[in-house]
Amino acid sequence: MKKNVIVGQSGGPTAVINASLYGVIIEGMAHEEIGRVYGMINGIEGFMSGNYMDLTNDLTQEELKLLKLTPAAYLGSCRYKLPDDLSSPFYPALFEKFRAMEIGYFFYIGGNDSMDTVSKLSRYASHHKSSIKFIGIPKTIDNDLIHTDHTPGFGSAAKYVADTVREIVLDSCVYQQKSVTIVELMGRHAGWLTAASSLARKFEGDNPVLIYLPEAAFEFEQFAADVEKALSKKSSVIVCISEGISDANGKFICEYADEVRTDTFGHKMLTGSGKMLENFVRNRFGVKVRSIELNVNQRCSGMLASATDIEEAVAAGREGIKASLNGATGIMIAFKRISDSPYQIQCVTVDVNEVCNKEKLFPSHWICDHGTNVTEDFLTYALPLIQGEPDRVIKDGRPLYLYRS
Amino acid sequence: MKKNVIVGQSGGPTAVINASLYGVIIEGMAHEEIGRVYGMINGIEGFMSGNYMDLTNDLTQEELKLLKLTPAAYLGSCRYKLPDDLSSPFYPALFEKFRAMEIGYFFYIGGNDSMDTVSKLSRYASHHKSSIKFIGIPKTIDNDLIHTDHTPGFGSAAKYVADTVREIVLDSCVYQQKSVTIVELMGRHAGWLTAASSLARKFEGDNPVLIYLPEAAFEFEQFAADVEKALSKKSSVIVCISEGISDANGKFICEYADEVRTDTFGHKMLTGSGKMLENFVRNRFGVKVRSIELNVNQRCSGMLASATDIEEAVAAGREGIKASLNGATGIMIAFKRISDSPYQIQCVTVDVNEVCNKEKLFPSHWICDHGTNVTEDFLTYALPLIQGEPDRVIKDGRPLYLYRS
């Protein structure tokens, strides 16, 4: 008997989360064991309120092609933590919805928190002898999921950072006067994306000459010494920092500023590390200084996405369908690197319970120059991930994306 | 007798100021009246210190091709105001350099301030019977030069804003909760670039739903009413503002914030209008709110440049050479629009004395909906300027640009 697929997106947007959705849809439609592919609108939170759509019926071939290239999250997202207590009435209510819709396969595209959802649902299903398969498809620009070489979304974000910082470097060196430019990049705990700013360099000694990650303790006086040394060599100094850089006691650098806010979840909202250091450099050195926060386009630029990342995101979605049809559940699709050159990866499955709620930090042996740089090994690792230009679809001079009507 | 060309770049970077330089070089090299094409390093300020290069000799064909696509200012720039007093010793010192280098043609690629330089030099030359021709090539993302339909640099910046804001719109609507996103765009006095955010819309009623330009007085209570109305219709509201929005008394909105700085010229440094309104909306409405400052990539993105803009910038440089060979001096190359559809422009020359130190503001009859939107006429005007993708040169996954060694 045919069973239906339900797929959702959760957590922050990326450039390729829709490419994984595309992968789930086209692979799902290719198997006769599968009836329909439904999409949860706004993740499991929206689904519980009855919001979903029939992706099999509602999208044309042309729209599917656009979906693959559309950044952000086509189905909408949520940040919804499932009850820790598996005897909560939430679970039977949800599984009753699954039963009514004849769901046999559940896919959740997301990061650590989303894998927690897959973990809980698969454990509940196991306890209650449900045959529904629960599969996680990895997604995060932060690249902080364990047991996978990298995550879909990181390559595109890294490419955006490399391209954009390279252009900032050109912009910053047009005047003769000494200047410092501080570029603040996303990353609360993991420095992968900030490390990608090293890809902006064209030659040995090129900017950005200083790179600070959350994984290395930040110290103001050492920073001042680093900047002073850099200014003695170059008139235009570019410094890239993670939003989440912190001192040896774990105090965020932005907390040295006046204003600290929390988001609706009580998370500290980290704005201002760049602005904080801008003021520090101005007061200390009296040179021209500015700070630039790259902001959300790091995670949602379809125009500057990586074709490699897009194709791998599609593959992760397709492999998820295949794994579920092979009987897998409670797993996440992961990438295993076969070789750097030629670059080759393999899709594998890993136990989602071992992935969820953990963070893969940037390795300390890839941090060098007293916490101000990253090693060649990182470049070898990251370069393959940013290769290839997306098949941009342009209409009237602007990128054409798929919107949910 | 052959005479040499000297060309410089001045003021802020753009995506296409090097395309105009490319135009001057290739057209200059095509005429036998012209010997060499020299480039001033860091504009007239650097040139006075003896910094220049021989563009005819030093660049290969391959490098010239890259130059055309390289953002920022290859020759470096300056912000140097020539003495108002034409009897200053500055002038004979400069003209002696011209004589020693057998300069017959002087080109300055820049905005209002650079045209002031061309004006002064051509007037000095006229008083002193110098035969050197002085030509201005327009350049500014602000689009605020008078007597030209538009300026090279604006189209690329407008395309960057359209693309980037469209992606921010997608990013901002993934969650169900009500939210306001404030995007701050460049423009101290002229709202052209902020108006270009209207190009991000895909359908009637699409975001950004509110657009505020410096040309319309900003009033906090009216803004609150505008946001409240927008939130009643859409859960995700995107507001685009110019950095230079001000109240009816001309007080900048960012001056309502705590910190006001001035740059080395005593110009007010306008950072914080977006952050100011972010706090205002949070306190007033209690909704999720964030502000995004697009920053320098608006003016220096080679990857998202407009092919139309690049070609027009090249044409402006070439037409400058032709005009100078025809005996013109004290002029700026300008664009005259022949038709909107099919889009057609013509290069003309205008008296540089009439252009310099003036600003073309956004027309009030193109501002509508009580200062919160721009009319269809603006879209008709701006759409042709953002057409066409650049011939991106990508190496190892990153844009390849020409660096001055």
The reply to whether A170 touches chain B by the CB within 8 Å rule is yes
Query: What is the structure's pLDDT at B308?
Result: 98
Residue of B nearest to A389 (CA): B397
Structure tokens at A290: 């500015």
Is residue A319 scored above 80 in pLDDT?
Answer: yes
Rounded percentage of chain A residues whose pLDDT exceeds 90: 92
Summarised one tens digit per residue, pLDDT across range B17-28 is 999 999 999 999
Spatial neighbors of A164 by CB under 8 A, at least 6 apart, are A200, A294, A297, A304, B297, B301
Kindly report the average pLDDT of chain A as a whole number. 95
Mutate to test the interface with A, among B199, B291, B295 (most CBs of A within 10 A): B295
Query: What is the structure's pLDDT at B283?
Result: 86
* Half-sphere exposure (Cβ direction) of B116: Cα atoms closer than 13 Å: 16
Which residue has better confidence, A41 or B261? A41
**CB distance A170 to A205 below 8 Å:** no
Residues 297-336 of A with CB under 8 A from B: 297, 299-304, 306
User: Under DSSP, is residue A328 helix (H, G, I), strand (E, B) or coil?
Assistant: coil
Summarised one tens digit per residue, pLDDT across range B54-67 is 999 899 999 999 99
The reply to whether B397 touches chain A by the CB within 8 Å rule is yes
Residue of B nearest to A73 (CA): B174
Query: What is the structure's pLDDT at A272?
Result: 81
B36: part of which helix (H) or strand (E)? strand B34-40
Do A397 and B403 lie within an 8 Å CB cutoff?
Answer: no
Residue B97, judged by CB atoms within 10 A of its CB (0-12, 13-18, 19+), counts as middle
Do B175 and A394 lie within an 8 Å CB cutoff?
Answer: no
> How far is the alpha carbon of A131 from chain B, nearest alpha carbon, in Å?
31
Q: Which of A54-58, A74-78, B115-119 has the lowest mean pLDDT?
A: A54-58
Q: Do domains B3-153+302-357+388-399 and B160-298 have the same CATH topology?
A: yes
Is residue B346 scored above 90 in pLDDT?
Answer: yes
- Tell me how far apart the terminal alpha carbons of chain A are, to the nearest angstrom: 32
**CB distance A29 to A37 below 8 Å:** yes
Domain ranges of chain A: 3-153+302-356+389-399, 157-299
Q: Are strands A268-269 and A261-262 parallel, antiparallel or unpaired?
A: antiparallel
Query: What is the structure's pLDDT at B271?
Result: 53
Catalytic residue positions of B, numbered: 142
User: Under DSSP, is residue B242 helix (H, G, I), strand (E, B) or coil?
Assistant: strand
Summarised one tens digit per residue, pLDDT across range B272-299 is 899 889 988 988 999 999 999 999 999 9
CA A252 to chain centre: 21
Summarised one tens digit per residue, pLDDT across range A125-180 is 999 999 999 999 999 999 999 999 999 999 999 999 999 999 999 999 999 999 99
* CA–CA dist B178, B115 (Å, integer): 47
Fold topology of B3-153+302-357+388-399: Rossmann fold (3.40.50)
Summarised one tens digit per residue, pLDDT across range B144-196 is 999 999 999 999 999 999 999 999 999 999 999 999 999 999 999 999 999 99
Do B199 and A73 lie within an 8 Å CB cutoff?
Answer: no
Is residue B357 scored above 90 in pLDDT?
Answer: no
Q: Are strands A331-340 and A133-138 parallel, antiparallel or unpaired?
A: parallel
Q: The domain B160-298: what is its CATH number? A: 3.40.50.460
Is residue A269 scored above 60 in pLDDT?
Answer: no
The one-letter code for the residue type at A224 is: A
The reply to whether A340 touches chain B by the CB within 8 Å rule is no
* CA–CA dist B102, B33 (Å, integer): 12
Residues 211-270 of A with CB under 8 A from B: 263-264
The reply to whether A30 touches chain B by the CB within 8 Å rule is no
Is residue B347 scored above 90 in pLDDT?
Answer: yes
Summarised one tens digit per residue, pLDDT across range A7-29 is 999 999 999 999 999 999 999 99
Query: What is the structure's pLDDT at B179?
Result: 98
Domain A3-153+302-356+389-399 has CATH 3.40.50.2030: no
Rounded percentage of chain B residues whose pLDDT exceeds 90: 92
User: Which DSSP symbol is given to A221?
Assistant: H
Kindly report the average pLDDT of chain B as a whole number. 95
Is residue B311 scored above 50 in pLDDT?
Answer: yes
The one-letter code for the residue type at A272 is: G
**CB distance B355 to B136 below 8 Å:** yes
Mutate to test the interface with A, among B51, B167, B179, B402 (most CBs of A within 10 A): B167
Pairs of residues, one from chain A and one from chain B, whose beta carbons lie less than 8 Å apart? 161
To which residue do tokens 């989602």 refer?
Answer: A352
A161: part of which helix (H) or strand (E)? helix A154-172
Query: What is the structure's pLDDT at A256?
Result: 80
Query: What is the structure's pLDDT at B237?
Result: 98
Query: What is the structure's pLDDT at B264?
Result: 43
Of A72, A170, A392, the CB nearest to B72: A170
User: Under DSSP, is residue B3 helix (H, G, I), strand (E, B) or coil?
Assistant: strand
Rounded percentage of chain A residues whose pLDDT exceeds 70: 96
Is residue A268 scored above 70 in pLDDT?
Answer: no
Fold topology of A157-299: Rossmann fold (3.40.50)
Summarised one tens digit per residue, pLDDT across range B202-253 is 999 999 999 999 999 999 999 999 999 999 999 999 999 999 999 999 999 9
* Half-sphere exposure (Cβ direction) of A207: Cα atoms closer than 13 Å: 28
Structure tokens at A148: 């996978």
CA distance to A33, B218, B292, per residue, from B222 (Å): 58, 8, 22
> How far is the alpha carbon of B350 from chain A, nearest alpha carbon, in Å?
28
* CA–CA dist B393, B302 (Å, integer): 10
Do B403 and A202 lie within an 8 Å CB cutoff?
Answer: yes
Q: How confident is the model at residue A283 (pLDDT cuts 50, 70, 90)?
A: confident
> How far is the alpha carbon of A128 from chain B, nearest alpha carbon, in Å?
31
- Tell me how far apart the terminal alpha carbons of chain B are, to the nearest angstrom: 32
Query: What is the structure's pLDDT at B176?
Result: 92
